């Protein structure tokens, strides 16, 4: 029995040394870590960076796998990342953590992208830890805005103009534009967090996050994003994933899962009342008493969103 246990332990140790990812990361990821091997002057080198090597391994071994050793390696990795994440969050007032949810199809040259970025910049400058899913679109806009926190309006516009020139992921300068901003506008004062997943590894991890909690298990990622955003969630236009997050958060607020209800802010009135008319549905369900405790806001205004979040944070301190 002892020999068998020792054999399995040796097998596991050998396997964990063979995988292309660090099984027991001692910190959250940074852009430098995930993009190790990428040369801004040679965009094609992206395919060989750490992040993509792990993604290809993940696909080759199955998004879900029956391989015990592979499962153990992934689970150990995610456990360690969650422990590092817990340490980061312990440094913040929980109601100072705000998430942005929204689709990855949002282009850099869309007005809504700039709006999300401005909201994130302003809230970050006020001491809020902005959180996103770490992909493109609304998620990238969140990290970009937070990265430019403390910069002037002129600097913000200049940086945004670089991104707009490469609006979508299929543009050859997409990553080059991002890394040129990281190089020319270094961020040393303000932090922001993203929680991406290798399940969507085809969607490049946004380089603009100072702290990256990348996971294999998307279910853990989704639950974590919604759970840690005690300060509220801003919903930008999105599709199936964003709608799922709306109702997951509504349930948490309905039951006061964490002792209070957090703001649910819907950005883009036309989208949320016409294109995807879920806001009127939530209001109707509230009026019927089928949902309770929801703190709903529908707006197109950057200032209203920032004020809603900061008012909630101030009210919390007074109680």
Domain with residue 257: its CATH number is 3.40.50.450
Rg (CA), the chain: 20
Based on the fold, state whether residues 55 and 188 are members of the same structural domain. no
Tell me which of 62, 85, 108 is where a domain ends: 85
Closest CA to 174 of 205, 148, 134, 209: 205
pLDDT per position as a tens digit, 89-115 = 999 999 999 999 999 999 999 999 999
pLDDT band at 316 (very low <50, low <70, confident <90, very high): low
Contact 192, 124 (CB under 8 A): yes
Query: pLDDT-based confidence at 43, cuts 50/70/90?
Result: confident
Distances (CA, A) of 46 to 50, 183, 196, 206: 9, 17, 17, 13
Query: pLDDT (tens digit, 9 = 90+) per residue, 53-92?
Result: 999 999 999 999 999 999 999 999 999 999 999 999 999 9
Q: Would you say the C-alpha torsion 81, 144, 40, 47 has a positive or negative sign?
A: positive
Residue 112 has a pLDDT of 98
- Tokens 């430019």 belong to which residue? 148
Total structural domains within the chain: 2
Whether the predicted pLDDT of 5 surpasses 80: no
Same domain, 77 and 100: no
pLDDT of residue 3: 45
Last residue of a domain, one of 36, 62, 85: 85
Instruction: Determine the structural domain holding residue 34 and report its residue range.
Output: 2-85
Query: What does the DSSP 8-state code read for residue 64?
Result: S
Segment 240-247 long-range contacts (CB within 8 Å, at least 24 positions apart): 241/103, 242/101, 242/102, 242/103, 243/276, 243/278, 245/101, 246/101, 246/278, 246/282
Q: Are residues 217 and 307 in the same domain?
A: yes
Domain co-membership, 80 together with 115: no
Query: Token digits for 231?
Result: 């300060």
Dump pLDDT digits (tens) for 153-165.
999 999 999 999 9
Lowest mean pLDDT among 1-15, 47-61, 103-117, 248-262: 1-15
Mutual angle of helices 153-164 and 174-184, in 10-degree steps: 160
Q: Is the pLDDT of residue 225 over 90?
A: yes
pLDDT of residue 10: 82
What are the beta bridge partners of residue 130? 98, 192
Which pLDDT value is given to residue 319? 53
Residues 188 and 113 in one domain: yes
* Interatomic CA distance for residues 181 and 110, integer angstroms: 19
Q: How confident is the model at residue 202 (pLDDT cuts 50, 70, 90)?
A: confident
| Residue-averaged pLDDT of the chain | 94
What integer is the mean pLDDT of 185-190?
A: 97
Residues 81 and 168 in one domain: no
Q: Are residues 179 and 53 in the same domain?
A: no
Which positions ≥6 away from 208 have C-beta within 8 Å? 31, 140, 143, 144, 146, 147, 178, 181, 182, 192
Residue pair 231/201 in contact (Cβ under 8 Å)? The answer is no
DSSP state of 261: P
């Amino acid at each position: 029995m002892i020999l068998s246990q020792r054999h399995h332990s040796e097998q596991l140790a050998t396997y964990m040394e063979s995988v292309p990812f660090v099984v027991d990361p001692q910190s959250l990821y940074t852009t430098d870590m995930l993009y190790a091997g990428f040369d801004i002057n040679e965009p094609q080198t992206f395919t060989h960076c750490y992040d993509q090597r792990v993604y290809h391994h993940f696909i080759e071994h199955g998004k879900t796998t029956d391989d015990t050793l592979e499962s153990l390696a992934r689970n150990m990795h995610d456990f360690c990342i969650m422990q590092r994440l817990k340490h980061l969050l312990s440094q913040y007032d929980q109601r100072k953590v705000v998430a942005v949810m929204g689709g990855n199809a949002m282009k850099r040259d869309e007005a809504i992208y700039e709006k999300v970025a401005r909201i994130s910049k302003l809230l970050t400058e006020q001491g809020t830890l902005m959180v996103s899913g770490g992909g493109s679109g609304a998620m990238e806009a969140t990290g970009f805005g937070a990265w430019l926190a403390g910069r002037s309006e002129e600097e913000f516009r200049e940086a945004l103009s670089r991104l707009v020139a490469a609006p979508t992921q299929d543009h050859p300068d997409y990553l080059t534009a991002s890394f040129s901003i990281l190089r020319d506008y270094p961020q040393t004062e303000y932090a922001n967090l993203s929680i991406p997943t290798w399940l969507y590894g085809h969607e490049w991890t946004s380089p603009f996050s100072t702290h990256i909690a990348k996971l294999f298990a998307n279910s853990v990622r989704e639950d974590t994003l919604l759970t840690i955003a005690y300060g509220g969630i801003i919903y930008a236009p999105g599709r199936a994933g964003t709608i799922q997050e709306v109702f997951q958060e509504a349930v948490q607020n309905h039951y006061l899962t964490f002792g209070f209800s957090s703001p649910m802010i819907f950005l883009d009135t036309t989208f949320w009342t016409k294109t995807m008319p879920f806001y009127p549905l939530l209001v109707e369900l509230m009026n019927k008493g089928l949902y309770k405790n929801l703190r709903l806001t529908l707006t197109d205004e950057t200032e209203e969103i920032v004020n809603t979040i900061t008012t909630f944070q101030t009210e919390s301190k007074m109680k």
